[in-house]
Structure 1
Amino acid sequence: MTDIDKTSTDTNTNTNADTDTDTDGTVLPVDEGLNARLVVDRGRFRLDVSLTAAPGEVVALLGPNGAGKTTALRALAGLVPLTGGHLRLDGAELDRTPPESRPVGVVFQDYLLFPHLTALDNVAFGPRCHGVGKAEARAQAAEWLRRMDLAEHADAKPRRLSGGQAQRVALARALATHPRLLLLDEPLAALDARTRLDVRAQLRRHLADFEAVAVLVTHDPLDAMVLADRLVVIEDGHVVQEGTPADIARHPRTDYIAHLVGLNLYKGEAQGHTVRLDARPEITATGPEITTTEDLTGPVCVTFPPAAVTLYRERPTGASARNLWQCEVAGLETHGDQIRVALTGEFSLTADLTTVAAAELGLHTGALIWATVKATQTHAYPA
């Protein structure tokens, strides 16, 4: 798989590349892979998302419900018409190409296998639609089932397949047409937790071998982090952040992304190691013992994990933490093998505690608590 720099839809940065022109006169590079600006108007909702991807790259679209992820995927598939922008795949214009004529394979959330056909004939359906003879299509389908470790289920109909097996048949059916763009709509959502783990690993292996572009829509951050080379986060129909999974996890820029990767996030104005927040107390973002850290100035984001928060029932005396706030317990919930505590009041944040620590503190909704975070456990970066 490859990582590529984001291609601007406003400027052609490679003067030696072949070029094309968008409907608004914007000059665009014509390369292999995906180059799209998806503009879709649906009542009061407007999707305006730019996507680029190189062959061999897996891009995951993340975002809250209603953000526009599925609309973007359906626009790529040709199931939703564009009201503006452009859609190019390997330099070919697809805007007005019917869905059935696009070199696109789709794996839907519910797989949508034909119930009356065997696994073999489900996979052979794609090649048959592209003019391949019945015997050759079935031979190709058998090979794809073998690759998916499903050869022994070739004669089984969908109702006899497990969720993981049905997912792999759907993937084989999509790949059998040799698409230049593979679209996966929540491909693991219908699986139970145990099956999901195994199928995720198998899907990662198959995507690693896929030589064209793959776009994955998911609400699960783990699926995105494991399967994708690059994440594109959409909120309210627009891209709010994109980058590698590691970069997104280290530098979230919206509350949704911070929650997704499990961090407390705040925005403010930095002056040295002090960050002034709007209508909130200050945060000291670096301890005095860290002398090699460069002072920050201007708009910044500050993050810290819930595990960095220490709670006290009484105001601590002689505490070394530079950040100390009195809060009220707004809620408690089980989070893995810990208790996640939501705090409001002077400062809103989340904290993770062991069940023993939560019991010893006697935490309950409405309880007043003191929260501290060491400056050395915070991370500040330009907003």
Structure 2
Amino acid sequence: MTDIDKTAHDTGTEPGAGSATESAAGSAADTAPRSDREGLDARLVVDRGRFRLDVSLTAAPGDVIALLGPNGAGKTTALRALAGLTPLTQGHLQLDGAELDRTPPESRPVGVVFQDYLLFPHLTALDNVAFGPRCHGAGKAEARAQAAEWLKRMDLAAHADAKPRRLSGGQAQRVALARALANRPRLLLLDEPLAALDARTRLDVRAQLRRHLADFEAVAVLVTHDPLDAMVLADRLVVIEEGHVVQEGTPADIARHPRTDYIAHLVGLNLYKGEAEGHVVRLDAGPEITTTEDLTGPVFVTFPPAAVTLYRDRPTGASARNLWPCEVAGLETHGDQIRVALTGTLPLTADLTTASAAELGLRTGARIWATVKATQTHAYPA
């Protein structure tokens, strides 16, 4: 009986199931020689028909990277390539100096937490976490002792004997995280780890996950479509669109200097590109925006929807230097405010209180004037 078959027999898992699941959940073993260079150094090139992923990623131990992008951008493909579940067409993948390009998934020092967690339904929380160490040679008692320690770290000691169906979504997420970490991976991959949780649970688990990631000494890569998850959990954001990196940096830098419409929408800003001459930026679309920055050459200009003031009639004596006629294209509730989509000379979005929207009598098709003070704009080189 092989070690994996013996583990399956001890835990009640069908022979062969452990190998596939361990490929997903991660492994501690990596026999390839290592240099002194630690962390992740990868260029992930994957061709799939007309789609081509070409993304470079580097990270030091302790870094948490979030991959952001619209649906179909290539985030999940990148994660699967890191895990070894999708082969590279070209490029390279090094982890702590070891080449992993041709290393099978089950032999990579990689742990994965899937969106749906993929816990063994017939095993207790303790045995789910112990499964990885057992597959890699730990005795049953030793593996369970390690699993108990991880459940304690996750504040789940009281649920060690519970099977997945008796766990809440937040508890199941933490069991999946403990299972991935029990093998002490050098690369932790998290695929939309909070997507399956309700809003209240998500808030609590996000805070707990941030604490665990802060203590993680290797590289973590997070895929998410939620900008708040990315901003709270990651040290660096890598934004992917159509298979390529369009921007990367700290959450603060990305939020302040978006470079594509997707990123601007993500962080809640109006974004335009144009040519600056001093304090005036002539946009590619035609109109001008006056800013406080004194720049020359290609620039981006941003301002938040809350900076936009709307008037039914053209204002006279207004202090705003930027004034445009617009038409209401749509209205929707946005938190405790009304977000107004405007078309016309300058397409933009504006945020108003419900009272202000009612006072203006806003409706689709209504003509309106929009103003933005120069002091509320931000220009930066393109």
- The normalised TM-score by structure 1 is 0.88
Cα-to-partner distance string for 1:167-223 (whole Å, 9 max, x where unaligned): 000000000000000000000000000000000000000000000000000000000
> Relative to 1, partners in 2 of residues 1:10 and 1:163: Cα closer, same or farther, differing over 3 Å?
closer
> Relative to 1, partners in 2 of residues 1:289 and 1:56: Cα closer, same or farther, differing over 3 Å?
same
Q: 1:18 aligns with which of 30, 49, 52?
A: 30
Is the CA contact (8 Å cut-off) linking 2:64 and 2:235 kept in structure 1?
yes
| Residue correspondence of structure 1 range 20-59 to structure 2 within 5 A | 32-59=38-65
Of 129-138 and 63-72, more deviation after overlay is shown by 129-138
In structure 1, C-alpha distance between the alignment counterparts of 2:344 and 2:91, rounded to whole Å: 45
> Relative to 1, partners in 2 of residues 1:22 and 1:302: Cα closer, same or farther, differing over 3 Å?
farther
| Residue 5 of structure 1, CA deviation | 45
> Relative to 1, partners in 2 of residues 1:117 and 1:231: Cα closer, same or farther, differing over 3 Å?
same
**Partner of 1:313 in structure 2?**
312
Matched residues, percent identical? 91
Q: Secondary structure at the match of 1:10?
A: helix
Is the CA contact (8 Å cut-off) linking 1:287 and 1:322 kept in structure 2?
no
Is the CA contact (8 Å cut-off) linking 1:124 and 1:173 kept in structure 2?
yes
Is the CA contact (8 Å cut-off) linking 1:34 and 1:51 kept in structure 2?
yes
> Relative to 1, partners in 2 of residues 1:291 and 1:106: Cα closer, same or farther, differing over 3 Å?
closer
Is the CA contact (8 Å cut-off) linking 1:287 and 1:375 kept in structure 2?
no
Is the CA contact (8 Å cut-off) linking 1:4 and 1:54 kept in structure 2?
no
Cα-to-partner distance string for 1:107-157 (whole Å, 9 max, x where unaligned): 000000010100000000111111111110011000000000000000000
**Which protein is richer in helix relative to its size?**
2
Is the CA contact (8 Å cut-off) linking 1:287 and 1:376 kept in structure 2?
no
In structure 2, C-alpha distance between the alignment counterparts of 1:180 and 1:237, rounded to whole Å: 25
> Relative to 1, partners in 2 of residues 1:241 and 1:111: Cα closer, same or farther, differing over 3 Å?
same
Q: Secondary structure at the match of 1:4?
A: helix
Q: Secondary structure at the match of 2:28?
A: coil
| Residue 6 of structure 1, CA deviation | 45
In structure 1, C-alpha distance between the alignment counterparts of 2:303 and 2:312, rounded to whole Å: 21
| Residue 259 of structure 1, CA deviation | 0.3
| Residue 4 of structure 1, CA deviation | 39
> Relative to 1, partners in 2 of residues 1:111 and 1:19: Cα closer, same or farther, differing over 3 Å?
closer
| Residue 50 of structure 1, CA deviation | 0.1
> RMSD between aligned alpha carbons?
9.3
| Residue 318 of structure 1, CA deviation | 1.0
Is the CA contact (8 Å cut-off) linking 2:291 and 2:379 kept in structure 1?
no
Cα-to-partner distance string for 1:79-129 (whole Å, 9 max, x where unaligned): 000000000000000000000000000000000001010000000011111
In structure 1, C-alpha distance between the alignment counterparts of 2:125 and 2:7, rounded to whole Å: 40
**Partner of 1:229 in structure 2?**
235
In structure 1, C-alpha distance between the alignment counterparts of 2:161 and 2:11, rounded to whole Å: 53
- The normalised TM-score by structure 2 is 0.89
Q: 2:165 aligns with which of 159, 164, 167?
A: 159
Of 7-16 and 181-190, more deviation after overlay is shown by 7-16
Cα-to-partner distance string for 1:303-357 (whole Å, 9 max, x where unaligned): 0000000000111111111110111101011111000000001110000000000
Is the CA contact (8 Å cut-off) linking 2:292 and 2:377 kept in structure 1?
no
> Relative to 1, partners in 2 of residues 1:230 and 1:275: Cα closer, same or farther, differing over 3 Å?
same
Q: Which runs of 5+ in 1 are unaligned?
A: 25-31, 279-285
| Residue 295 of structure 1, CA deviation | 1.8
In structure 2, C-alpha distance between the alignment counterparts of 1:50 and 1:38, rounded to whole Å: 6
